[in-house]
């Protein structure tokens, strides 16, 4: 995420703090300082820092379990609305998702218990009216906030932790996409309730409702796409209607094709054998830098990836992203069947029923 500053590394996982969080700290310092003086300002900042330390511990819970299960955690980012553990992939094995999701709220509840015991040992009144950002009674405040965080995150509001736990439990008994759909529906029902309840009683809750609603929708869409990409053989989604170039053609020949069709990516063939490729970016750069009678052999790329028509479309998607765009030729044995690029994957998804279960 842009505008995030790395402040440390825990168990190999970078901890980053988003610039808006620093602004929140500044806001707390100024607003509590205004009412309570310097001491109030310092108290406010310490309290918010302690609170977000608890949020980091919650996220570390998710991240460490994920790492243990073999999922790479890119980083943990702290935002004013909470923390995010960015994982390389969402676990689709139900038990793994269950463990990873459940641990966060459990950490929060465990922290609540610790603060409760400490507060009681010190003889503090742990009733909720005692909570204030400013009076320095941190323990009681941290007890309540961790308790609320733990319980709130356990609500089945997908894509929050509790919603993920629900999906995992459902996925143990039914098809993954169906489990996702039910969890998303329940999550969105919760989101609508949060929104309307929040409109009257708590503005933040209304805002969280909107985030949950959109997050649930986005994740359902991604889940369907990921699944379909994995299940569709790449040979089914390729571009089969195209013109090829020969190494002895010139840039002008490529230009003639590009000007009168939608084709900008070119396989280069000699005697029925694929000897190179000329992807769009490379073609456009060559047009800019070289005269139009330049031969294709001197601008084509001979170092390229090929896929077999039976490979999953997900593989093509990953490879194209790895090479940052371009296209991948798709073969059946030694025969070129066609090729695929990102636009084609998008088009196939939209028009040709990739999204259907």
- Binding test (CB under 5 A) with Zn ion, winner from 104, 209, 215, 338: 104
152 or 304: whose CB is closer to Zn ion? 152
Min separation Cβ 62 and Zn ion, Å? 6
| Cα 262 to Cα 71: distance, rounded to the nearest angstrom | 40
Residues 176-195 that bind Zn ion (CB under 5 A): none
Number of residues that bind Zn ion (CB under 5 A): 2
Min separation Cβ 190 and Zn ion, Å? 15
The answer to whether 228 and 349 have CB atoms below 8 angstroms apart is yes
183 or 316: whose CB is closer to Zn ion? 183
Q: Does 97 bind Zn ion (CB under 5 A)?
A: no
61 or 267: whose CB is closer to Zn ion? 61
Q: Which of 267, 259, 271 is nearest to 327 (CA)?
A: 267
| Cα 325 to Cα 39: distance, rounded to the nearest angstrom | 55
57 or 269: whose CB is closer to Zn ion? 57
18 or 227: whose CB is closer to Zn ion? 18
161 or 220: whose CB is closer to Zn ion? 161
Residues 280-319 that bind Zn ion (CB under 5 A): none
Q: Which stretch binds Zn ion (CB under 5 A): 27-35, 160-168, 228-236, 264-272?
A: 160-168
Min separation Cβ 83 and Zn ion, Å? 8
Q: Which residue is nearest to Zn ion (CB)?
A: 104
Q: Does 161 bind Zn ion (CB under 5 A)?
A: yes
Residues that bind Zn ion (CB under 5 A): 104, 161
């Amino acid at each position: 995420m842009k505008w995030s500053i790395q402040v440390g590394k825990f168990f190999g996982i970078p901890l980053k703090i988003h610039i808006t969080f620093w602004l929140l700290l500044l806001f707390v310092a100024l607003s509590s300082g205004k009412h309570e003086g310097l001491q109030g300002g310092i108290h406010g900042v310490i309290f918010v820092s302690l609170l977000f330390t608890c949020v980091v511990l919650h996220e570390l819970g998710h991240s460490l379990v994920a790492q243990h299960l073999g999922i790479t955690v890119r980083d943990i980012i702290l935002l004013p609305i909470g923390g995010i553990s960015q994982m390389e992939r969402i676990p689709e094995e139900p038990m793994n998702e269950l463990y990873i999701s459940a641990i966060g709220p459990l950490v929060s509840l465990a922290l609540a218990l610790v603060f409760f015991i400490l507060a009681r040992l010190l003889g503090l009144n742990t009733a909720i009216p005692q909570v204030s950002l400013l009076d320095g009674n941190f323990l009681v405040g941290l007890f309540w906030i961790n308790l609320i965080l733990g319980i709130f995150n356990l609500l089945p509001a997908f894509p929050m932790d509790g919603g993920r736990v629900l999906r995992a439990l459902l996925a143990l008994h039914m098809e993954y996409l169906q489990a996702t759909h039910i969890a998303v529906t329940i999550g969105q029902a919760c989101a609508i309730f949060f929104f309307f309840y929040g409109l009257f009683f708590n503005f933040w809750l209304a805002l969280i409702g909107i985030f949950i609603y959109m997050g649930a929708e986005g994740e359902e869409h991604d889940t369907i796409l990921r699944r379909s990409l994995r299940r569709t053989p790449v040979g089914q989604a390729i571009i089969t209607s195209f013109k090829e170039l020969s190494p002895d053609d010139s840039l002008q020949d490529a230009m003639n094709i590009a000007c009168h069709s939608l084709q900008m990516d070119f396989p280069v063939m000699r005697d029925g054998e694929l000897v190179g490729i000329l992807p769009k970016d490379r073609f456009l750069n060559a047009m800019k830098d070289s005269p139009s009678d330049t031969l294709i052999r001197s601008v084509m790329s001979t170092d390229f990836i090929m896929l077999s028509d039976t490979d999953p479309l997900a593989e093509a998607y990953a490879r194209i992203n790895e090479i940052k765009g371009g296209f991948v030729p798709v073969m059946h044995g030694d025969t070129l069947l066609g090729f695929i690029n990102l636009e084609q994957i998008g088009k196939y998804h939209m028009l040709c029923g990739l999204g259907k279960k």
